[in-house]
Amino acid sequence: MSWVLKNVLLYGDGDPVDVVLKDGIIAQIGTDLAGDEVLEAAGCVLLPGLVDLHTHLREPGREDAETVETGTLAAALGGFTAVHAMANTDPVADTAGVVEQVWRLGQEAGHCDVVPVGAVTVGLLGEQMAELGTMADSAARVRVFSDDGKCVSDASLMRRALEYVKAFDGVIAQHAQEPRLTDGAQMNEGVNSSLLGLTGWPAVAEEAIIARDCLLAGHVGGRLHICHVSTSGSVELIRWAKGKGWDVTAEVTPHHLLLTDDCAHSYDPTFKVNPPLRTQHDIDALRAGLADGTIDCVATDHAPHALEDKETEWGAASPGMTGLETALSVVALTMVETGGLTWRQVAERMSETPARIGRLEGHGRPLAVGEPANVVVVDPAARWIVDPAQSASRSRNTPFAGHDLPARVRATFLRGVATSLSGKPA
C-alpha cells in the first residue's frame, strides 16, 4: 500500500509538493501524484521522523508506570519514529539479555523503533563497568551507554568507559550530578529554594561533572554526550569543549526550555524533576545554546511515574515528567515562534543530529526520493490544549496540563506505515 501526502512543505520551505510513500521509502516527490491512501496536508510541514535520545519506557520492572507498548504509542503520537530506551529498568539493562529483551519488545509493538541504551556500570551502582562490548555485539547493537538517573561519579571508571567504547564507536551519555553536592536536594538552589524551605541543588553540581568529563573525553579521544543540560554555566562549558575540538555533544529537554523554578511555589510534585527546573537566566542561555548549535539536540527525558509516586508530598515524590507527546509543540513554542529556530533547524535538532549521535541507520535521513519513509507531518497553525487524560502514556505526570500549545502532529509514518493519524493511533 502507498500513501500520498498532498501539498506538504518540505522542512517548511518552498512550494507545496506531493510526497508518495511506498515499499518503505519515499518513492516520489512532485505534483499531482497519486497513492492508495491520501492525506490532505495543505499548509503542513513535512519533517524526517523525530528521534529521541532519552526515553524512559520502564519495562521491564515498572509496567505500572509505562510499557514499551504504551510509551512507543505516545512517541508515535508525538512524531517520533525512534526512541532510545534508558537503562534504569528492573532488572537494569546492563547485559546483552536485557537490552535484547527491550529491543524485541519494541519490534513487537511496532509504533516506532526502540533502541536500548546500555548501563555504563553494573546495576547502575557506579562500581564496576558493565558488559559494554557484549551489549554492543548483541542483536540490539547498543551504541549509547548511560547510568542516567545516576551519575558515573568515579572519574577513573568514567575514563575507562570513554576509552572502551571507542572500539565500537560508542558514546557515554552522562547524567551530570555530583552526588556529594546534591544530597537531599529537592529543587534548584536559589531564592525560591530559600523561600520554600526546600534543599537546593546548586548549578555547580552539574557543571563540575561536565567540566571533568569534557577534560576526560578530550584526554582519551572518546565520545561524550551530556544529558539534560540545565544551567547557563553548563552551556558555557560545552561551548568551550567544542572549541577545543573534543567530541562532546549535549541535549536539552523541552521542559528546561520553558519552565522555571517558580513552578515549585505550588508544591505540586509534577514540577519535581532531575535535574531541577532552573531560572529564566538559565532558560535564555539554553535557548541561545540550542539556536547556535552549542547544544546539539532536544531530548524528552520522558519519565513516566505511577500515581502513587507523584501524588504525594514533594519530598517523597519521584522526579520526572512525561514529554513524548508534547516535545515538538514545546519546541515550536519556545524556539520556532520566537525566531530561534526554523523548521529546517528543528529537523536537525530533533531528528538528524540525535540519529547521528546514536549511530542510527534509516532515521534522520534527508527528505528525498529513495530515502526511508520515516517522516512526520506537522500542522504548524494548529493549536491544542494538553489533557493528561487523553495521553497514550500509562502515566499522567505532564507539567503542561492545560497549556495551549502550537503545532499539532497530523501523522507519523514508520517505513511508510502510518503509526499515528490526526492525533490518534493509526
**Beta strands 25-30 and 80-85: pairing type?**
unpaired
* Domain end position, chosen among 301, 323, 357: 357
Task: State how far the Cα of 258 lies from the Cα of 310, in Å rounded to an integer.
Answer: 21
Report if residue 157 sits inside a domain: yes
Are residues 335 and 416 located together in one domain of the fold? Answer: no
Are residues 82 and 184 located together in one domain of the fold? Answer: yes
Are residues 38 and 67 located together in one domain of the fold? Answer: no
CATH of the domain at 254: 3.20.20.140
Which of 94, 301, 309, 379 is an active site residue? 301
Q: Which pLDDT band holds residue 369 (cuts at 50, 70, 90)? A: very high
Are residues 394 and 318 located together in one domain of the fold? Answer: no
CA 29, distance to chain mean position in Å, is 30
pTM of the model: 0.98
Report if residue 331 sits inside a domain: yes
* Domain end position, chosen among 357, 380, 399: 357
Are residues 353 and 384 located together in one domain of the fold? Answer: no
Report if residue 364 sits inside a domain: no
**Coil, helix or strand for 407?**
strand
At residue 321, the pLDDT reads 98
Are residues 219 and 344 located together in one domain of the fold? Answer: yes
Residue 197 has pLDDT above 90, yes or no: yes
pLDDT tens figures, 76-116: 999 999 999 999 999 999 999 999 999 999 999 999 999 99
For the chain, the average pLDDT equals 98
Q: How many domains does the chain have?
A: 2
Share of the chain above pLDDT 70, in %: 100
CATH of the domain at 415: 2.30.40.10
Report if residue 375 sits inside a domain: yes
At residue 423, the pLDDT reads 86
Average pLDDT over residues 419-426: 92
Report if residue 382 sits inside a domain: yes
Domain, as residue range, for 253: 49-357
pLDDT tens figures, 60-70: 999 999 999 99
Average pLDDT over residues 303-315: 97
Task: State how far the Cα of 144 lies from the Cα of 130, in Å rounded to an integer.
Answer: 13
Are residues 421 and 296 located together in one domain of the fold? Answer: no
Are residues 267 and 339 located together in one domain of the fold? Answer: yes
At residue 271, the pLDDT reads 98
Report if residue 138 sits inside a domain: yes
Report if residue 82 sits inside a domain: yes
The reply to whether 137 belongs to the active site is: no
Are residues 39 and 141 located together in one domain of the fold? Answer: no
Are residues 227 and 339 located together in one domain of the fold? Answer: yes
Report if residue 332 sits inside a domain: yes
SS (H, E, C) 300-339: CCECCCCHHHHCCCHHHCCCCECCCCCHHHHHHHHHHCCC
* Domain end position, chosen among 305, 333, 357: 357
Each as own residue / partner, the long-range contacts of residues 212-215 (CB below 8 Å, 24 or more positions apart, any chain) are: 212/155, 212/158, 213/158, 213/162, 213/174, 213/176, 214/238, 214/240, 214/241, 214/244, 214/246, 214/248
Are residues 85 and 120 located together in one domain of the fold? Answer: yes
pLDDT tens figures, 28-38: 999 999 999 99
pLDDT tens figures, 202-226: 999 999 999 999 999 999 999 999 9
Are residues 152 and 231 located together in one domain of the fold? Answer: yes
